[in-house]
Chains A and B, each alone.
Chain A
Amino acid sequence: MNTNYKVSVETSGETAIVYASDYLNKLSGERIERECRRQIDAGCRTIVVNFGETEIVNSIGVSILLGVIDAASGAGARVVFSDVNEDTIELFEMLGLTNHVAIQG
């Protein structure tokens, strides 16, 4: 596991953009979930998870995203998935993630 990995985040007002990258698909992806929780705790109302650099999402990635959804729904925040490729959108639809998030671009 790469322990030096840092989650890329951009914030603007009450919105935080978190870049999923390929780390989402490993145990180290739990940092992405922790970062989202931190942003929610800090007052973010919208969490945008950017999949621009994510080719595929595996089961670990799905589980981590479900954690993000769970944390956001508990705090009344919204989750948006952006730059998602078509295969991944299909996967999210099949597993029901799209019931909980908005898909953007």
Chain B
Amino acid sequence: MPENQQKLIHTFGALAELGHEVSQKNNFQEMIRTSLHLLLGALGIMRGGVARYSRFGHELNMLAVRGLGDEFPLSLTICNEDERQFLTNGTVPIEIAQAKVLPFFQIYDRSFAAKKLELLVPLVIRDEIVGVVLLGEKANGEPYSSYDRDIICAMTRHIGVGIAQRNLMAELERRAEENRRLYDDLRMTYKDTVKAFATAIDCKDKYTEGHSVRVGKYSEIIAAELGWDDEQVEGAAVAGYLHDVGKLTVESSIINSPHRINAKETAALNKHPVIGYEILLPIHHPYADVPLAAKYHHERLDGRGYPDELCDRDIPYIAKIVCLADSFDAMTTDRPYKRRRPANEVIEDLQYNAGRQFAPELVTAFCRAMLKEITLETKQKKFRRLLGREYLEADGIVPLLKNALNGMNGTSSLTLVSLD
């Protein structure tokens, strides 16, 4: 075979393989190592290296080397902007021996000379330097021909594209991560705002201090026990925190009345779900159902609730959760006109009202979560923190919870409603 023909086949074979290698989504380091092998092997070059440019440190960091030894610097610093610009403008391989006027080539002259490096090829993609390829002498001892330089330019362009792709991916990953962190920060800010709001709501009612926060936590417990994902659980908690926001507009004398309030006062108080809905509706919440939870948390499955006397399926699910959490907290905290009820009574009340006031599956989930904590099936201490240790460890609570769970197993809300 004529030498020229064989040379063509060999180098074009290398070029084709290089193109394939760069287009594959393989390991980046392996891609660079393979690319360097292909370039050196295509032209019989004794040694060389591929470096990636870091615009942060203005450095060329070696990604792959062949025959440069341990003493060759792993990182080459570009001295100034003029040099970077000089490399960026480079469209042809730079003769290292003729570039010594630049500080960069002076600084690394010894390293380049020790390894007989002859060419530095800037890898420029879209007018940005992404790296360089360093090439040593050819095995045949001949100088680089114009044919060699053309092949080098073609092959190094592929390598440059490979590095640029990698940079782009890294940048995308970095931005995605940054976005995720910003989103987390926003969510945290939102949650903190919601909690602050809940505290503000509770401040208005001196007798039910901490009520909104506790309802948020009970709602969170129920949603988690239902197996909802983290975001949904968080949404349930927020709905609980804000369910009584409408109370901010109700007169303090009504909310803080030490006696049972009269019909007129009750009518004023009972407006708080609709007012809460109107307050929350214009706000863009990350969780869609927050305003609905405020509006319908006093609805009952049997249609005897307010404001709209909705029945079972018409009541938004989130409102059913908040309703249960709200009622549970009302029963388990002291009120000005009523002491908190003992745990056994509360559980019996939940069981009795499952299907009447509360969705049975939610009562089941709530009781199950409580039982898991009491029997130490879970290490969480959410109920203990909210209710106090002694309250939960009263005699007979565990059998009562088990009984409630057995009694409600397989009972749908519809059948219970029909019994009422």
Q: Which residues of A are at the interface with B, using a C-beta cutoff of 8 A?
A: 27, 30, 58-64, 66-67, 69-70, 87, 90-91, 94-97, 99-100
Are A97's CB and B139's CB within 8 A?
yes
Q: In the bound complex, do residue B139 and residue A100 qualify as a contact, i.e. CB atoms below 8 Å apart?
A: yes
Question: For window 67-97 of chain B, which residues contact chain A by CB distance below 8 Å?
Answer: 67
Residues in B with CB closer than 8 Å to A58 are 10, 13-14, 17, 41
A94 pairs with B3, CB closer than 8 A = yes
Docked-complex contact B37 and A64, CB < 8 angstroms = yes
Task: Specify which chain A residues have a CB less than 8 angstroms from the CB of B139 in the assembled complex.
Answer: 66, 69, 95-97, 99-100
User: What would be 28 A-B contacts, judged by CB atoms less than 8 Å apart?
Assistant: A27-B34, A58-B10, A58-B13, A58-B17, A59-B13, A59-B14, A60-B37, A60-B41, A62-B40, A62-B41, A63-B40, A66-B40, A66-B45, A66-B67, A69-B139, A90-B1, A90-B6, A94-B7, A94-B10, A94-B140, A95-B10, A95-B139, A96-B44, A96-B138, A96-B140, A96-B141, A99-B140, A100-B139
With A59-B14, A60-B34 in contact, do A66 and B46 touch (Cβ < 8 Å)? yes
Cβ–Cβ contact B3 & A59, under 8 A: no
**Does B33 lie within 8 Å of A27, measured CB to CB?**
yes
CA distance in complex: A19, B141 (Å): 27
CB distance from A97 to the nearest CB of B (A): 6
Q: Kindly identify, within residues 370 to 416 of chain B, every residue whose CB is under 8 Å from any CB belonging to chain A.
A: none
A67 to B10, CA, bound (A): 19
Chain A nearest Cβ from B30, distance in angstroms: 6
Residues of A within 8 A of B142 (CB): 96
- Cα distance A58–B14 when bound, in Å? 7
Among B10, B13, B47, chain A packs the most CB atoms within 10 A around the CB of B10
Please give 16 more A-B residue pairs, beta carbons under 8 A apart, in addition to A60-B34, A90-B6.
A27-B33, A58-B14, A58-B41, A59-B10, A59-B17, A59-B37, A59-B42, A60-B17, A60-B38, A64-B37, A66-B41, A66-B46, A66-B66, A96-B140, A96-B142, A99-B141
User: Which chain A residues lie closer than 8 Å to B42 at the CB level?
Assistant: 59, 62
User: Is residue B135 within 8 Å, beta carbon to beta carbon, of the partner chain?
Assistant: no
Contact indicator per residue, chain B 3-21, by CB within 8 Å of chain A (1) or not (0): 1001100110110010000
Judged by DSSP, the binding face of B is helix
Chain B residue contacts of A64, Cβ below 8 A: 37, 41
- A63 & B140 in contact (Cβ 8 Å cutoff): no
Chain B proximity of A38: nearest CB distance (Å): 17
The 3 closest A-B pairs by CB, nearest first: A96-B140, A95-B44, A59-B41
In the complex, which residues of chain B have a beta carbon less than 8 angstroms from the beta carbon of A70? Answer: 46-47, 67
B36 at the interface (CB under 8 A from A): yes
Residues of B within 8 A of A94 (CB): 3, 6-7, 10, 44, 140
The answer to whether B47 and A62 have CB atoms under 8 Å apart is no
Question: Which A residues touch B10, using CB under 8 A?
Answer: 58-59, 91, 94-95
What chain A residues lie within 8 Å of B138 (beta carbons)?
96
What is the bound-complex CA distance between A95 and B11, given in angstroms? 11
Give Cα distance in the complex from A87 to B7, angstroms.
12
Residue of B nearest to A56 (CB): B13
A95 with B43: CB separation less than 8 A: yes
Which A residues are CB-close (under 8 A) to B46? 66, 69-70
Known contacts A66-B67, A90-B1, A90-B6: does B41 contact A61 (CB below 8 Å)? Answer: yes
Nearest residue (CB) in B for A57 is: B41
Contact A67 B38 (CB under 8 A): no
Residues of chain A contacted by B34 (CB below 8 angstroms): 27, 60
Residue of A nearest to B15 (CB): A59
Whose C-beta in chain B lies nearest to the C-beta of A70?
B67
- CA separation between A91 and B11, bound complex, in Å? 11
Minimum CB–CB distance from A88 to chain B (whole Å) comes to: 11
Between A58, A62, A69, A70, the greatest number of chain B beta carbons within 10 A of the residue's beta carbon is seen for: A62
- Complex CA distance for A18 and B142, rounded to whole angstroms: 29
- Contact between B37 and A91 (Cβ–Cβ < 8 Å)? no
Q: When chains A and B are docked, how far (Å) is the Cα of A65 from the Cα of B382?
A: 68
